[in-house]
Amino acid sequence: MTNLEKYNNAFCESFHIGEDCLPGLVYQSIDAWDSVGHMTLVAALEDAFDIMMDTDDIIDLSSYEKGKEILKKYLVVI
Amino acid sequence: MDCRLLEGKNAIITGARTGIGLAIMQLFAKSGCNCWAVIHRDDEAFFHTIDKLEKECGVWIKPVHIELESSDSIRDGVRVISEERLPVDILVNAAGIVSPARLFTMTKMEDVRRVMEVNFISAIELIQLVSRQMMRQKRGSIINISSVSAWGTDSSQMEYATSKAALSVATKKLSRELGSAGIRVNAVAPGLIQTKMLDTFDDDAIKHIKRGVSLQRFGTPEEVAEVCLFLASDKSSYVTGETIKVDGGGMI
């Protein structure tokens, strides 16, 4: 599985949405991406890439696109 | 069996080396719970206690060194625990410090900061990190050791009482946020308990406080631990956001 597939899976499984919803997806734009959903997403990303995200990055993770940028800090290239 | 209420569960307990934290660790181990014992320093006696508990109770107990005044140290400690890839079922924030009993006007601000840092900030920082793991599991029980001093009206130890009041408020607020993820958050507020913290009170103060307790005696760390056991176990599965006083009827 590629990093992009892992990344997309984390979003799709956390929020029960299809890949077609991912581009442009931002925090709180759908019901499932509330604060609890956010932490589910973080857990899914941490599991998928075997990382432990800093709190600042968790707060900054405000969109599907922003997440890709943040993961670069953890040497994960999407 | 009721005597093994926490069989197979794993708990993180701060302040596990002495006092209430130690009593909680001992009771949890006897109840079948494995423990990460968060301590800032160790000694031979503590390792002896751990060895004995492990053998007697058939559980593992791992010391984790964390300086609770340091965010980096807290993060490193939690990282060590998460790398074990084991579920974290219970977090008990029992570590606490108290500064000498004196009036606010005679208290250094650095003492106020230190008490808030250890008693409150470190506890919520741990909750923030550990609740991420608990959210994955969709279950968890968090127990904060507050204090009845949070509602006390005497004039000394403002910073200690404030830190414990903050912990009780945080307990309520966090129970709301984390409840939907299956995580319960409760607090225990001990009254006057026979620990080293009593050394900070002079004899007159102790006599005065004792007179105000319905049961006319100090509590023991074990009596506080029993309430924590209840809150950690499934026996309290519908209890969250509560602060339970364990003070012998001192705050009625």
Task: Write out the residue range of the structural domain in which residue B60 sits.
Answer: 2-242
Q: Which residue blocks in B7-121 are alpha helix, DSSP H?
A: 19-30, 44-57, 71-82, 109-116
Report yes or no on B126 lying in a domain.
Answer: yes
Structure confidence at residue B212 as a pLDDT band (50, 70, 90): confident
B135 to A47: CB separation less than 8 angstroms, yes or no: no
Tokens coding B187: 């607090």
Enter the pTM of the model: 0.89
Report yes or no on B251 lying in a domain.
Answer: no
B160 has catalytic annotation: yes
- For A19, counting Cβ atoms within 10 Å of its Cβ (0-12 exposed, 13-18 middle, 19+ buried), the class is exposed
Domains in chain A, CATH or no CATH each: 3-72 (1.10.1200.10)
ipTM exceeding 0.90?
no
B69-98 average pLDDT score: 95
Q: How far is B82 from chain A (nearest CA, A)?
A: 9
Tokens coding A62: 């405000």
Report yes or no on B39 lying in a domain.
Answer: yes
- pLDDT for B1 beyond 60: no
Report yes or no on B81 lying in a domain.
Answer: yes
Number of domains chain B contains: 1
- pLDDT for A67 beyond 70: yes
- A43 interfaces chain B, CB cutoff of 8 Å: yes
Q: Give the position of tokens 């900054």.
A: A60
A-chain CB neighbours of B128 within 8 Å are 55
Which one from B160, B165, B233, B248 is the annotated catalytic residue?
Answer: B160
Helix or strand holding residue A42 (H, E): helix A35-49
